[in-house]
Amino acid sequence: MSITKQDVLKKYFGYDSFRPQQAEIIDKVMDNQDCLVLMPTGGGKSVCFQIPAILRDGLTVVISPLIALMKDQVEALRGNGINAAFLNSSLSSAEQDQVMWQAKVGELKLLYIAPERLFSGNTFDFLREWNVQLFAIDEAHCISSWGHDFRPEYRQLSNLKLRFPDVSVIALTATADRVTRRDILKQLGIEHAETYIASFNRPNLSLNVLPGRKRIQQIQSFVYKHDGQPGIIYCLSRKGTETVAASLQNAGFKAAFYHAGLPSEQRSKVQEQFLKDDIQVIVATIAFGMGIDKSNVRWVIHYNLPSNVESFYQEIGRAGRDGSPSDTVLFYSYMDIITRQDMINNSEQSEEQKELLHAKLNRMKQYAEADICRRRILLSYFNEAVEKDCGNCDVCRNPRTRFDATVIAQKALSGIARTDQKVAMGMLIDILRGSRNRNVLQYGYDRLPTFGVGHDLRGEEWAEYISQLLNSGVMDIAYDEAHAFKLNAASRQILKGERKVELVKFIPISERKAKEEEL
Ligand code: ADP
Ligand code: ZN
C-alpha cells in the first residue's frame, strides 16, 4: 500500500489531522495544479508544499526571501528525516557546489533558495537538470508592489512559468488584500490557479486599543498583571526598544531588546532565551518574529502604530498560536498617525507609492479609532465577513456611545483661536483646564477668556476629545509648526454655532469592564 498524506503528516510532522484546507491544497498540488494559498501566520502553510514534496518524485524548489530563516527550516526538516538543503549567500562556494550536486543526483526532496541566488550565475540553467516538480513561492506578496513588502528581486519570478510551463507552482502568503492577491497571480503567470483562503479569525486573541499616554507606566502595570507570561512589545525605533526594555528591567522584569542593529550572535542569544522562557519580555522592532516558533506567547503590545493592517495582523498573530486566550494591545494617539504620515511623506517613494502607503495607513487608523467591533474591521480588511460582534475586543466589552459635543468642541476651538493658532496639545489642555504652570503664565494665557473653561474634564478626556476632533477633520494640525492646531472652515462653522459635533464618550480605564482591569 502506498503512503498517504495522512501517513506523512503523522510520520514526519507528528500531527494526527489536517487543519482546514490543508488536505485540499495538498491534493491540488499532487494533481499538478497551480494554487495560491492565503493563510495567516502560524496557520500551517509549510506542510502544504512539504507533504507533496515528500510524496512526489523529484525536487521541490522553495523560494523564500528570508535567508535567516532558511537554515532553521531546513534543519527542522532534516531533524524530521527529510532530505532538504538551502542555497544562499551564507554558504561557502564549496558548500554551494555540494548542495547543487545533491540536487543534480536527486538526493534532495526540498531545496530552499533565495530569489537573488536563483537568478544569479547559471543556477537557473541548472534547474533544468534537477527534475524540478514543484515551485513553492513563500511570502508571495513580495512580488507585488501593492503588497506591504515589495522586493524587486521577486519580480524575476515571473519568468518561472515561461521557462517551466509544466512545473506546478504553489504561492503562499499571509497577506490577502484583493488587489495584491490578483497581482500575485498575474505576476506569476498563474491566473487560472485555484485560490485557497483560510480564515484569518483568531478568536483567542483579545483586541484592545489603549490611549497612548504614559505608555511606559501602562506597560509596567500590564506586565505586572501578566505575571511571568511571555510577551512581545513592538516599537517603531531601535532606540525605543532599548528605552522600554531598560524601564522594564529597572522595574525588575526579565526583559531584553532586539533589533537589526545588534550583532547576530546577540540576536540569536536573545531569541534563544525567549524561546526557553529565560526572558519574559522581548521589546523589539519588526525585525523580530519572522519564523519564531513559540506557541505560548501570551500577549503582544504595539508601543507605536504599525504602518498597515497586514503587518499589525502578522505581529499580533505571534500571540496565542497554541489557541489559548491571549491579549493584544495597541497604544494609540493622534501623534502616531502624524509620525507615520511624516515617514511616508519624507520617504524616497514615488508619488503613486506614497498614495498607496497613505491608504494603507488609513486602514490602520480606522482600526485604532473604531467605535464598532474591532474584529469586524480587522477581518473586513481580509475580505472576511463576520456574522456577529466578537465579544472579545474592548469596543464589544464597552460599547461606545456618542453624544452631542458641540460645546466641548467650541471650547477647544476658541482656545485655539484666542492663542492665534500657535498652541499644540499640551498647552491647549493646560489652558482649557486652567493650569497655572510656567509656560501658560509666560505667555499670559491665564488672562484669556477661555482659561479654565474646561476644568470639568480631566486632561486625558480632553486629549481624547481633541484627538477625535482632529480625526474627524473639524480642526487641523501644522506638522511644520511644532504641531500647532489650526482652524479650518468646519471649525469656524462650529464656533459660529452653525454646525454640531458628535463625539464618542470617553470611558476612563478604571470604569471599563472586567477585562480592562487585566490590561
Ligand atoms: P505559517 O508558515 O503559515 O506561518 P507554519 O507552516 O510554520 O505556519 O506552521 C505553524 C505551526 O503549525 C508549526 O508549528 C506547524 O508545525 C504547525 N502545524 C502545521 N500543520 C499542522 C496540523 N495539521 N496540526 C497541528 N499543527 C500543525
Ligand atoms: Zn468585538
Ligand 2 mean position to 363 CA, how many Å? Answer: 17
**Ligand 1 in contact with 42 (CB < 6 A)?**
yes
Closest CA to 337 of 365, 371, 366, 299: 365
Query: Residue with the nearest Cα to atom 26 of ligand 1?
Result: 15
Do 467 and 441 touch, CB atoms closer than 8 A? no
| Buried/exposed 177-202: b ≥16 CB within 10 Å, e otherwise | beebbebbbebbbbeebeebebebeb
Residue range 457-469: mean pLDDT, rounded? 92
CA distance linking residue 297 with residue 275, whole number of Å: 9
Inform me whether the pLDDT recorded for 392 exceeds 70: yes
pLDDT band for 511, please (50, 70, 90 cuts): confident
- pLDDT at 290 > cutoff 80: no
For the stretch 396-406, pLDDT in tens is 999 889 999 99
Residue 513: pLDDT band (50, 70, 90) is low
DSSP codes, 72-118: HHHHHHHHTT--EEEESTTS-HHHHHHHHHHHHTT--SEEEE-HHHH
Per-residue pLDDT at 84: 97
pLDDT for 514 beyond 60? no
**Segment 349-370 mean pLDDT:** 91
Task: Decide if 499 contacts 410 (C-beta within 8 A).
Answer: no
What local confidence, expressed as pLDDT, does residue 283 receive?
97
Mean pLDDT calculated for residue range 307-331: 92
Residue 301 has pLDDT above 90, yes or no: yes
Q: What is the dihedral of CA 118, 123, 127, 132, to 10 degrees?
A: -40
Q: 484-486 and 476-478 as β-strands: parallel, antiparallel, unpaired?
A: antiparallel
Mean pLDDT of all residues in 485-511: 90
Q: How far is the CA of 222 from the centre of ligand 2 (A)?
A: 21
Q: What is the dihedral of CA 79, 84, 90, 91, to 10 degrees?
A: 110
For 333-357, how does the pLDDT look when each residue is reduced to its tens digit (9 = 90+)? 888 998 999 999 999 989 988 998 9
Contact yes or no for 196/25 (Cβ under 8 A): yes
- The residue whose CB lies within 8 Å of the most ligand 1 atoms, and thus the one to mutate among 47, 72, 110, 112, is 47
Candidate from 7, 13, 75, 199 with most ligand 1 atoms within 8 A of CB, to mutate = 13
Q: Which one of 8, 15, 41 would you pick to mutate in the ligand 1 pocket, going by the greatest count of ligand atoms within 8 A of its CB?
A: 15
Residue 371 CA to ligand 2 center (angstroms) comes to: 10
User: Is pLDDT at 44 greater than 80 in this prediction?
Assistant: yes
Q: How far is the CA of 36 from the centre of ligand 2 (A)?
A: 30
- Averaged pLDDT, 6-32: 94
Local confidence band at 471 (pLDDT 50, 70, 90 cut-offs): confident
Cβ contact 450:390 at 8 Å = no
86 Cβ neighbours under 8 A, 6+ residues apart: 70, 71, 73, 74, 99, 111, 112, 113
pLDDT tens per residue, range 411-425? 999 999 999 999 999
| Mean pLDDT across 191-212 | 92
pLDDT at 98 > cutoff 90: yes
390 CA distance to ligand 2 middle (Å): 4
* Residues above pLDDT 90, as percent of the chain: 71
Tell me if 223 CB under 6 Å of ligand 1.
no
Whole-prediction pTM: 0.78
- Mean pLDDT value across the chain: 91
Distances (CA, A) of 405 to 99, 223, 225, 227, 402: 69, 36, 35, 40, 9
* pLDDT(99) > 90: yes
For residue 421 and ligand 1, the question of a CB distance below 6 A is answered with no
Asked if pLDDT for residue 35 goes beyond 70, the answer is: yes
Q: 292 or 134: which carries more pLDDT confidence?
A: 134
Checking if the pLDDT of 224 tops 70, the result is yes
Ligand nearest to the CA of 515: 2
- Ligand nearest the Cα atom of residue 318: 1
Q: Which residue has the higher pLDDT, 279 or 518?
A: 279
The pLDDT score that the predictor gives to residue 304 is 97
Question: Is pLDDT at 187 greater than 90 in this prediction?
Answer: yes
What integer is the mean pLDDT of 439-468? 94
Amino acid at 165: P
Percent of the residues in the chain that have a pLDDT greater than 70, as a whole number: 98
Nearest CA owner, ligand 1 atom 24:
15
C-alpha of residue 203 to centroid of ligand 2, in Å: 10
